[in-house]
Amino acid sequence: MTAAMTTPVPKITHRELAVLEAIAAYVDEHGYQPTTRELAPIIGRSYVVIARDIAVLEALGVIRRKAARAIVRLFPLEDLREHARP
């Protein structure tokens, strides 16, 4: 059973949603997870800000990090888009 089945979808900001969408697009294109330094130019923010956003997403229970490049999204992007806040 996944978190999405038992836990309400967390409300995330549009910036956090942009990070998740950038990760998904990167994985689709490259076949593996990006580093924060690889995400920074894609999103247009510093890698420090990206790292903070990823830490917030993990604290909210939206993702789980398993290793340096392994990020597991616990909710479908569609559900997160519906619940995104400004």
Domain boundaries, the chain: 3-83
CATH of 3-83, one of 1.10.10.10, 3.50.50.60, 3.10.105.10, 3.30.56.10: 1.10.10.10
Burial of 31 (0-12, 13-18, 19+ CB in 10 A): exposed
Interval 37-68: pLDDT, tens? 899 999 999 989 999 999 999 999 898 887 76
Model pTM score? 0.76
Q: Reply yes or no on whether the pLDDT at 4 is more than 60.
A: no
Q: pLDDT tens digits, residue range 69-81? A: 667 777 888 888 8
Look at residue 3 in the predicted model and tell me its pLDDT: 52
Give the chain's mean pLDDT.
85
